[in-house]
Structure 1
């Protein structure tokens, strides 16, 4: 009789690079008796001419993962990105839970759709414009500047605070719109929410399974307050109004989990506005100021809420 160990069920961790986050997820999965295998979506393919489900996922043979977690999707052409997201769509059609699934990722990476869905759900968020007409964009900018306001020009699919630029009336100086070609001919503008003090801050709130579970303040002298751009992570409590706003933002985009970014604004009822909803959120900075293991909490939420597994004992879930 064979005495070999029973293979552990495998979860795909889709990522274009391995490192701190993927190691944490693999360790958290191992605690629950699962194997986390890192897979680049660029290496996955459709193969419908053979019997079976029509997908080839490296490291899984002809099997499907029991679930998948999306940690990163490499940039590429429209055709390449469409195919990579198509793999995630196909897994959902095959009954494999994907955390977050392709629909949620599409909503969150497209800043115009994020703004639209937040507005539709009544979640406080700065006015935003997404358009291809350069002349119309300049008219919007002139109107905002004449009211003394500035706008943030953002890449439609950017992240980590890269490529942001303030235009309009910036510190008393009129800053024109640059060549739209630098953003692929698509102009996304979001009204800038000023702060009275320097250094200023914003909040990053982690929402998981419909609940806000952790938060921090990101403090910086600069108006771009992403951790990747040098902001300091400062622990803070989950203020009820901020937590509710973040929870509603994640629900508006139908996300399993989200990193929700908010800026303080005393002019609105909640005292803050949502400026970003991240569907492939990093949490290394947040982990530094959070007492529980975020990767373990993400894995537990996937297994318990999406796969229907029983809860792990509290002391094991919070280990590490």
Structure 2
């Protein structure tokens, strides 16, 4: 039986274990972080292939050296997807619609930030360039609020060990529907709509991240949106990918991507999802 090393969160590990076992793939857990690990006698399982490279690159380098296996999503795929500005630039250059966005590399002056913000109608979304789960993303209505947020970013970025000192200013799309589309080997494998409960929206919440309390409901995405997500996966050349779409009444854009997407319940994916995922894992193992 093929052994697959999985470093992703517990939900994904639990959901994939039995379906992949039925297809001749044993899923073994590998904890890359928040632990101690002997570098001479590591307590790690044997594996034939890895699922997705660990999110922390230092830990990932250690795990990768010990396991010495090919990955379904390699270090390069994780880095490419994590860099929001990189993703949006590649997609835009390929003619794929994305939100209007300005990349800011600190340090810059307040005057430069203000000039960049004037290109957008308020409110303006400000987000770190390399975080996930909506961490650090804010919506600001005026320049004073924007500069208040950037003041905090300046304090963080002033610490010289901070790896990423960039952030994005982005247009806000009111009333946009938020979809997470799953791609396996570049092909549409299912989608969910992420939506906050009505009472949360009434209290002013607006970020539709599941980790912020949004509910993910399986949807039958139309062909045009499926094609948009598949085109994004092709441009980025990432085999196992979550593509986040924002859809209004008159446009659809690729907002972000995730090369370590959580696997949801099987009812939210297309028939054949597990067969296709197993095939992708076997293909990676043979590479």
Match of 1:237 among 210, 215, 220: 220
Confirm whether residue 134 of structure 1 aligns to residue 108 of structure 2: yes
Look up the match of 1:26: 17
- CA RMSD in angstroms comes to 3.2
Task: Provide the C-alpha distance between the structure 1 equivalents of 2:238 and 2:263, rounded to a whole number of angstroms.
Answer: 16
Q: Are the counterparts in 1 of residues 218 and 269 from structure 2 also a CA contact under 8 Å?
A: yes
> 1:230: Cα distance to partner?
1.7
Given the alignment of the two structures, is residue 283 of structure 1 paired with residue 263 of structure 2, yes or no? yes
Aligned equivalent of 1:311? none
CA deviations over 1:20-40 (Å, ceiling 9, x no partner): 311222223311223221112
Residue from 186, 191, 198 that aligns with 1:210: 186
The Cα offsets for residues 213-270 of structure 1, whole Å up to 9 and x where unpaired, read as: 2112222333211111122323322222211111121222211111111112456xxx
Q: How does 1:281-320 map to 2 (within 5 A)?
A: 281-284=261-264, 287=266, 289-290=268-269, 292=271, 297-303=276-282, 305-307=283-285
Name which structure has the greater RCO, CA cutoff 8 Å, separation 6+. 2
2:124 maps to which of 151, 175, 183: 151
Pick aligned residue for 2:6 from 7, 13, 37: 13
- Measured in 2, the distance between the counterparts of 1:102 and 1:44 equals 21
1:84 aligns with 2:53: no
Secondary structure of residue in 2 paired with 1:41: coil
1:202-221 Cα distance to aligned partner (Å, 9 max, x none): 11111111111211222233
- Residue 207 of structure 2 is matched in structure 1 by 224
Asked if structure 2 preserves the Cα contact closer than 8 Å seen for 1:287 and 1:293, the reply is: no
Residues 85, 168 of structure 2: 8 Å contact kept: no
Question: What residue in structure 1 maps to residue 81 of structure 2?
Answer: 108
Q: TM-score, length-normalised on structure 2?
A: 0.78
Count of equivalent residues: 268
- Residue 307 of structure 1 deviates from its aligned partner by 4.4
Q: Does structure 1 retain, via aligned residues, the 8 Å contact 2:25–2:278?
A: no
String of CA shifts for 1:11-59, please: whole Å, max 9, x gaps: 21124x5x23112222233112232211123467877xxxxxxx96712
Residues 53 and 60 of structure 2 are in contact (CA less than 8 Å); yes or no, is this contact kept in structure 1? Answer: no
Higher-Rg structure is 1
Which segments of 5 or more consecutive residues in structure 2 lack a partner in the other structure?
Answer: 159-164
Shift of 1:157: 2.5
Gaps of 5+ in 1: 1-7, 48-54, 76-80, 309-320
For 1:35, the equivalent position in structure 2 comes to: 26
State the secondary structure of the residue aligned to 1:259. strand
Q: Do structure 1's residue 246 and structure 2's residue 229 form an aligned pair?
A: yes
Aligned to 1:122: 95
